[in-house]
Amino acid sequence: MIEIRSVHKKFGDVEILKGIDLDVNKGELLCLLGASGSGKSTLLQCINGLEPIQGGSILVDGIDVHARDTNVNRLRQKLGIVFQQYNAFPHLTALENVALALRLVAKHNRTDASVIAKKHLAHVGLGDKENLFPSRLSGGQQQRLAIARALAMEPTYMLFDEVTSALDPELVGEVLDTMRLLKSEGMTMVVVTHDISFARQSGDRVAFLHSGRVCEIGTVAEVLENPRDERTQRFLQREYRA
């Protein structure tokens, strides 16, 4: 599991995370909701070790992400992360994009890396796109390529940071379907999202963040259908009106 205890994060003098306490249980899909600037994306980057913290601790399967002696590169193989932007290498085909980290980080030879990459591209529905460059793929396909690239490292956990917010509405469904597939296969996921319907239909628990704190956490029914915190209530009212 992922255990987050009293985590504080600052950018300069601005405190973004103000004592976050959170657990992510094996096999669950935890949705992080909150307005822009509430600290959701920063929290994901702290979990993955991409951002240092100024207080508290984050344990992944008992390993302290931010301990001085932790091999963060090795730990990140447990933590696949997919961002809002696809970040594909434009000069590499879909297959080459997925195989690259397998060769450079996991040290697979070129043949084995290609076999693994093909498997994961097929897994996300891109088996017939492996020889195309990213510019020939739709936004939804590029985002599924990013998911395949993360999955190829065989992570224990997947972190998703607003992965559909840059997509045209008609392309959102194919990415969410891929995430639902991963959930059905037992992948543990932390998903930053503004998509309330996805959280309701696919989430196991929901955490609402406001100004760097977890204001409310519970099951989908508890947080989305019967929120106790006034800030959660106001946020959901605005989202439903939108």
Q: Does the structure show a pLDDT above 60 at 224?
A: yes
Residue 172 gets the label, from left (phi > 0), alpha (psi -120 to 50) or beta, of alpha
CA 118 to chain centre: 22
Write out pLDDT tens, residues 186-203.
999 999 998 898 899 999
Report the predicted TM-score, pTM, of the whole model to 2 decimal places.
0.92
pLDDT for 239 beyond 80: no
User: What digits encode the pLDDT tens for the residues 63-98?
Assistant: 999 999 999 888 888 999 999 888 899 999 999 999
Residues of 77-116 as b/e, b for ≥16 C-beta within 10 angstroms?
ebbbbbbbebebeeeebbbbbbbbbbbeeeebeeeebbeb
pLDDT-derived band at 240, boundaries 50, 70, 90:
low
Question: What confidence tens digit (pLDDT) does each residue in 102-115 have?
Answer: 999 889 999 999 99
Cα–Cα dist 73/79, whole Å:
10
Examine the pLDDT at 242 and tell me if it is beyond 60: no
Exposed, middle or buried by CB within 10 Å (0-12, 13-18, 19+), for 240? exposed
State the Cα–Cα distance between residues 81 and 22, nearest whole angstrom.
18
Per the prediction, the chain carries an average pLDDT of 93
Retrieve residue 60's tokens: 């992944």
**Which part of the chain has CATH 3.40.50.300?**
1-78+157-242
Q: 1-78+157-242 adopts what CATH topology?
A: Rossmann fold (3.40.50)
pLDDT tens digit sequence for 119-137: 999 999 999 999 999 999 9
- Dihedrals phi, psi of 222, to nearest 5 degrees: -70, -45
- pLDDT greater than 80 at residue 241: no
Region 204-211: mean pLDDT is: 96
